[in-house]
Structure 1
Amino acid sequence: MPEQEATAFAATFDSMVLNVGHALLGKEHAVRLVVGALLARGHVLLEDAPGTGKTSLARALAASVDGSTSRVQFTPDLLPSDVTGVSVYDQAHGTFEFHRGPVFASIVLADEINRASPKTQSALLEVMEEGHITVDGVTHPVPDVFMVIATQNPIEQAGTYRLPEAQLDRFLVKLSLGYPDTEAALDILAGSAERDRTSRLTPVVGTADVAAMSRAASTVYVDRAVLRYANGLVEATRADPRCRLGSSVRGGLALVRLAKVWAASQGRNYVVPDDVKELALPVLSHRLVLDPDAELTGTDAEQVVADVLAAQPPPNPGL
């Protein structure tokens, strides 16, 4: 990526973050991660308490991109065909006609994904990884720009189904927004008359622009020393005795892909170790399965990743 193209990339990236930030106040870092995941062709899992802006963030991003969007409210009685679509018999022509489900959109909001049955959750596995679904032996591709933003509530577990590790691994990042700081909360309260802040947002980029930015980000240079550092972090999670299952190779790929976008968003055409270090927590933590004994002692995945980062020295400049 030429330096001028990296500068233009950063300007467009900032305009997207600013537009989404009009609806989600005081959460710029989280917004940058979600926009970065979109440009890295990944998916996002938002896990937090009610009222922290998870759905607003997803809707604001959808409103900022001039493309098709859809929203699926996951419930226990939701069927896989309600997500992917279904083949309906056409009596007039004597053939089956495929009716597309809400998954055929550029940005899909899967609200409270852990309330649906595992069978329905698994309907997203193929499309999230491969960009197409197969119904009745026929493959149907989704749009070139495709992203799933899933939300889940971690405090109300009655009637919910925990996402399997195979599906968690398909999310590029997992975020917890948390509550806004005092100043942001005051701004939110001052605008309480406006029920939906996302309704006044207008698109700042089209899907063609997003696709072009994704292709440009993939050309960002990553030195082999930085790749070795990222891979070392991934391998360290597998070797950690507190982990029953460490990060997969997909986690390492996700870390490098997002690091390229992160570098370009700051006007650089190369990745530095600090990019990898900053992104390791949201990219790797949800991919770890802890040993039950470690969980009993109060250890969580975020602590494991933090310890791995502290133990793995980044490469020196110039190496």
Structure 2
Amino acid sequence: MYSQKIIVTGASGLVGSALVERLKSSGGYSIVKGVRSVSAGLDQLPLEALDSDVAIRLLEATDVVVHCGARVHVMEDRAVDPLEEFRKANVQGALELARRAAEGGVRRFIFISSVKVNGEATMPDCPYLADQEPAPQDPYGISKMEAEEGLKALAQGTGLEVVIIRPVLVYGPGVKANFRSLMNWLSKGVPLPLGAIANRRSLVALDNLVDLVVTCIDHPAAANQTFLVSDDEDLSTSDLLRRLGLALGRSPLLLPVPARVLQLSAGLVGKKALAQRLCGSLQVDITKTRTLLGWTPIISVDEALRKTARHFQKR
């Protein structure tokens, strides 16, 4: 039986590690992890030495590359030139890998991008669409957009099939950053001034994102397309906290502070971006993903929150 060889970069990250485990459990896949070290093992692709004999042989035997690796968005970037740093990792790195993949005869390159290519916020019930004009607002989003543009041009010139997936906020077992902070506060019973937030935000459970990536490995209609992905159920911050609290077995203490007051207060202490994420709306329409691929989320929001909470509580 033929086993597809898949290279996964960023395999130690939240998405990459979950994808590797899913592929292993599914069977039918031979997995190679992309690593930074030039002294990679025989089953590892050395991303810093793509012209090496080892890298060339691995790419020539590979069917699909899933590029999850990236310099990720940070709330307070201390780099002297953040855009240049993002470009080095997210644009130059992705395009070099894709070029080498095309030269090696790789069939498909799946690029995990970001909804930040679309922008930072939407009006309630006016979601982003996959094929609308990009409008990134920060260096991370700009770098992802530039990588997408370069990959599309490469696909046209080489025949490499490129699939672009733009996730919204990803949560699941092992999630860190702001989502983990919310769970920490809820589990400790910390009062939160977020009981009157009537925004609308799309999220995506890790299981749902990974399932879409696996679908895109083989689906013929995925070639050279851009997809948005979410759980297909948008929540307000207040509703998310109540349902996350339920998953944690806690009754959250949410104070009904008006969103405008929160945003003004956050601006005074230099937390305007965080307030935007908590109070503003960001929705995506996944109709294209559902219709073109016949894909639907495999796990509900509440089930995914329970899985996330159980993992958090065990650790």
- TM-score, structure 1 as length reference: 0.27
Q: Which of 1 and 2 has higher RCO (CA within 8 Å, sep 6+)?
A: 1
